[in-house]
Amino acid sequence: MKAAILVPDVQTRAQLAALRSLGRAGYETHAVAAAPQAMGLRSRFARHTATHPCYGDAAFCDWLAAYAKANGIRMIVPSGGLLSAVRERFAEFSPLLPVSADPAIVYAGGDKIAAYDCWRAAGLLDHHPKTRVVRAGETPDLSGFPLPIYVKGGRGADGEVVGVGFHQCRSIDAAEEAIRRTLAAGYESVLVQGGVTGRQVGVSLLMGPEGALAGNVVVDCHAEPHSKGTMSLRRSEWHQDIYDDAVRRLSALGWIGCAMVEYRRDDDSGDFHVIEVNARFWQYLHLDLHAGVDFPRLAAEWFLEGRIPPPIRPRQGIVCRDTFPGEFAWLANTLRRPGSKAATLAAFTGRFIDPRIHADLNFPGDRALYFREFGRFAANELRALRRKII
């Protein structure tokens, strides 16, 4: 058995994919979550499982330190929630985290305003939406901003995210009100971005001090994402210009470890704009695994053994879907829009049964989890439907 690795937040698809990658590679995986019903706790790739205090509980860091010591943990797969929870004790856990040892770099990677300020200083505002940082006490001038306008909270004065701080605004008046409410909620600044059109694109990267060690490019198969903004159906499709731009941006941030840079790309012109950095594993990670870019395993080998991966050519045209709730949410949204309902249902059904299309949860060696989670999803939807009827 290889080294012991702790994978937190296994209730998410991203961390479940990391657990599966590391488990099938032979690592002694420890799947942990705050809730006992987290799907990853039932994965066949979880060698050990445990539940822990919530991240907001002062006892969490003590639990994590004791668990890591008792089980000989050599690496902790970082998630956004875990990094936030260990912020005050980052130096203690840093030797176990495959990220930079500099907390300023690590936490700037999850801060939209810090990233924007870094890119502006580095002259990387090409391929960037019209953007303005508004700080507490300032009166923003949003004239000329293309609609919709996105208002994104930065961080509070203590460095922590203080609540939900994302608003999509269809008018300047709505954006100004969203800025006021966000700042009043405790944010010391907000990022305001003008809307850009195009298909969603994600660039997945493993970065070392010497630059990019592995990468992949993923494109949304739907022209528009569903209401939650996720790529519920996506394929691997290489775009060198976007890949190069993502490498430049993460290099400017000094990022070490795995991250995903999100873009919107116009199909006709090829123009693209950066949206944000996700400085953690990303929701579509299962597609990267199917495309042959096994980021969690590569990160573990690099971090624990100092192994630099050989050049990897991702398999192109690999399609993977977030069946539920993602594709079901896309179906519901699409059926509300004008157009042929029969064609929409036929396309959805065809993808549902197409054996060439992978499903996130239906992973080789761990397929029972897919059917278990589908049963839970269906039961929840039926309960919600009954409540509406009653």
Q: Are 262 and 201 in contact (CB under 8 A)?
A: yes
Co-location of 279 and 202 in the same domain: yes
Sheet containing strand 358-359, strands side by side? 272-278, 257-265, 199-208, 211-220, 233-236, 319-321, 358-359
- CA separation for the pair 322, 326 (Å, rounded): 5
Counting the structural domains of the chain, the total is 3
Phi, psi of 139, rounded to the nearest 5 degrees:
-105, 110
Instruction: Reply yes or no: is the peptide bond before residue 338 cis, omega within 30 of 0.
Output: no
Token pair for 150:
């996105």
What ranges in the chain are assigned the alpha helix state H? Answer: 13-24, 60-70, 80-85, 90-93, 103-108, 112-121, 172-184, 240-253, 285-290, 295-305, 328-336, 341-353, 368-389
pLDDT in tens, 314-368: 999 999 999 999 999 888 888 888 888 898 999 999 998 999 999 999 999 999 9
Co-location of 86 and 59 in the same domain: yes
Report, in this order, helix, strand and coil percent for the chain, each rounded to 5. 40, 20, 40
Co-location of 88 and 155 in the same domain: no
Q: Is the pTM of this model over 0.75?
A: yes
pLDDT of residue 226: 56
pLDDT of residue 229: 55
CATH code assigned at 336: 3.30.470.20
92 in a structural domain: yes
Co-location of 49 and 8 in the same domain: yes
pLDDT of residue 225: 61
Q: Which domain holds residue 11?
A: 4-97
pLDDT of residue 157: 42
Q: What is the DSSP-derived secondary structure letter of residue 156?
A: B
For residue 316, give Cα distances in angstroms to 52, 261, 269, 287, 309: 39, 19, 21, 11, 19
CATH code assigned at 77: 3.40.50.20
Co-location of 277 and 165 in the same domain: no
Collect the ranges in the chain with pLDDT lower than 50.
Answer: 156-163
Q: Are 17 and 286 in contact (CB under 8 A)?
A: yes
Co-location of 51 and 176 in the same domain: no
